[in-house]
C-alpha cells in the first residue's frame, strides 16, 4: 500500500516574507524533519536549513544554480527553473501507467 503522507516545509526566507508561518520552517531555528523524500524547490541549502533536513533518506533538488549547496548533498539534482522542471516532471509522470 502506498504511504501518501506529505508535508510542506520551507526556509527562513519564506517565513521572513510572510508566505508561510514559522511552524513550517525547517532548520536550526525551525523544526527537524526526517522524511523518506525531501524535494527542495529553489532551496539554497544553507547550513542552518541543512541541520533540519539532512537525515532525509532521499534528497531531490530543483535549482537554477549548479553551485547551490543543497545540490552537493542531494541524491538527484534537476538544474533549471522550477516551473519548467515541475511541468516536465508532471507531464512525464502522467504518461506512466501502473501495471
Ligand atoms: C542564526 C540563523 C538561523 C537561521 N535559521 C534558519 C533555519 O532554521 N532555517 C532556514 O531555512 N534558514 C535559516 N537561516 C537562514 C539561512 O542562512 C538562509 O538564509 C536561508 O535558508 C535561505 O533560504 P532560501 O534557500 O529559501 O533562499 P536563498 O538563499 O535566497 O536561495 C534561493 C535559491 O533558489 C534558487 N532559485 C531562484 N530562483 C529559482 C527558480 N526560478 N527555479 C529554481 N531555483 C531557483 C537560487 O539559485 C537559490 O539557490 C538562519 C540564519 C541565521 C543567521
Set of cell numbers at residue 43? 532551496
> Residue 73 belongs to a domain with what CATH number?
3.40.50.1220
Q: Is the pLDDT of residue 77 over 80?
A: yes
Number of structural domains the chain divides into: 1
Cβ–ligand 1 contact at 25 (below 6 Å): yes
Compute the distance between CA of residue 22 and CA of residue 1 in angstroms, rounded to an integer: 33
Say what the alpha-carbon torsion angle 6, 12, 15, 19 is, to the nearest 10 degrees. -60
Sign of the C-alpha dihedral, residues 96, 91, 61, 19? Answer: negative
Going by CA atoms, what residue is nearest to atom 45 of ligand 1?
Answer: 42
Supply the range of the domain harboring residue 66.
12-94
In this prediction, residue 3 carries a pLDDT of: 63
51, part of any domain: yes
Q: Which atom of ligand 1 is nearest to the CA of 27?
A: 8
3, part of any domain: no
Place of cell 510572510: 18
6, part of any domain: no
Residue 93's pLDDT band, with cuts at 50, 70 and 90, is confident
pLDDT digit string, tens, across residues 15-67: 999 999 999 999 999 999 999 999 999 999 999 999 999 999 999 999 999 99
Amino acid at each position: 500500500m502506498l504511504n501518501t503522507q506529505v508535508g510542506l516545509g520551507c526556509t527562513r526566507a519564506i517565513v521572513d516574507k510572510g508566505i508561510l508561518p514559522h511552524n513550517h520552517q525547517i532548520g536550526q531555528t525551525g523544526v527537524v524533519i526526517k522524511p523518506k523524500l525531501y524535494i527542495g524547490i529553489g532551496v539554497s541549502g544553507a547550513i542552518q536549513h541543512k541541520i533540519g533536513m539532512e537525515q532525509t533518506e532521499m534528497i531531490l533538488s530543483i535549482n537554477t544554480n549548479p553551485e547551490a549547496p543543497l545540490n552537493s548533498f542531494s541524491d538527484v539534482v534537476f538544474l533549471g527553473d522550477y516551473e519548467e522542471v515541475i511541468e516536465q516532471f508532471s507531464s512525464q509522470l502522467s504518461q506512466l501507467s501502473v501495471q
